[in-house]
Amino acid sequence: MAIERTFSIIKPDAVAKNHIGAIYSRFESAGLKIIASKMVHLTKEQAEGFYAEHSERPFFGALVSFMTSGPIMVQVLEGENAVLANREIMGATNPAEAARGTLRADYAVSIDENAVHGSDALASAEREIAYFFAADEICPRTR
Ligand code: GDP
Ligand code: MG
């Protein structure tokens, strides 16, 4: 098993509903360690840059507007197969299709306000971590 790092966001809807602690508890119960964390309120430019891969999609404007609507929590999770493990904890993008017991089944209301983000691959995890965190803001506990 490989120890990986992945990038996670608790989106504005879940922060507004006071679900930060419940969601952190899910990560920790699954064996993922939070090795960096902060609250930020994205500017339009930051949200557009983060989601640049979706810039041609019809929902891009709605996505940027939602992601800038309130503060978010951003965190780096570390653990065995962290990228896939976090995607499993999150559940499907559309909460209507998310498996029981996943974060999106329990905390998301719609495909556009779906509680959490998680990197979809190791390469995107590296890029997304670097988008939000300087090296000295990350505190690995697996040394
Ligand atoms: P994820 O990796 O599971 O978050 O899904 P994607 O990378 O495909 O999409 C990024 C984000 O864009 C999703 O988490 C949703 O917030 C939003 N999104 C994706 N598809 C749709 C859609 O069809 N409509 C709307 N309104 N938002 C969407
Ligand atoms: Mg994605």
How many domains are there within the chain?
Answer: 1
Question: What pLDDT does 138 receive?
Answer: 98
Q: Is 143 domain-assigned?
A: no
Tell which residue, 84, 79, 108, 80, has the closest CA to residue 94. Answer: 108
User: Please, which pLDDT band fits residue 141 given cuts at 50, 70 and 90?
Assistant: confident
95 C-alpha vs ligand 2 centroid, how far in Å? 14
The answer to whether residue 142 scores a pLDDT higher than 90 is no
Query: What is the pLDDT confidence band of residue 143, given thresholds at 50, 70 and 90?
Result: low
* CATH of residue 39: 3.30.70.141
Is pLDDT above 90 for 35?
Answer: yes
Among 63, 66, 69, 97, say which to mutate for ligand 1: greatest number of ligand atoms within 8 Å of CB: 63
Task: Give catalytic status of residue 117 as yes or no.
Answer: yes
Helices and strands of the chain, counted as H and E runs? 7, 4
Cα-Cα end-to-end distance for the chain: 16
pLDDT tier for residue 1 given thresholds of 50, 70 and 90? confident
**Pocket of ligand 1 contains residue 94 by CB under 6 Å:** no
Q: Kindly state the average pLDDT of the residues 89-100.
A: 98
Sheet holding 116-118, edge to edge: 33-40, 72-80, 3-10, 116-118
The tens digit of pLDDT for each residue in 95-118 reads: 999 999 999 999 999 999 999 999
In a domain, 85, yes or no: yes
SS3 86: helix
Q: Is residue 68 in some structural domain? A: yes
Domain around 120: 3-137
Q: Which pair of tokens denotes residue 50?
A: 């983060």
Look at residue 8 and tell me if it is in a domain: yes
Determine the distance separating the centroid of ligand 2 and the alpha carbon of 118, expressed in angstroms: 7
142, part of any domain: no
**Pair 60, 1: CB distance under 8 Å:** no
| Average pLDDT score over the chain | 97
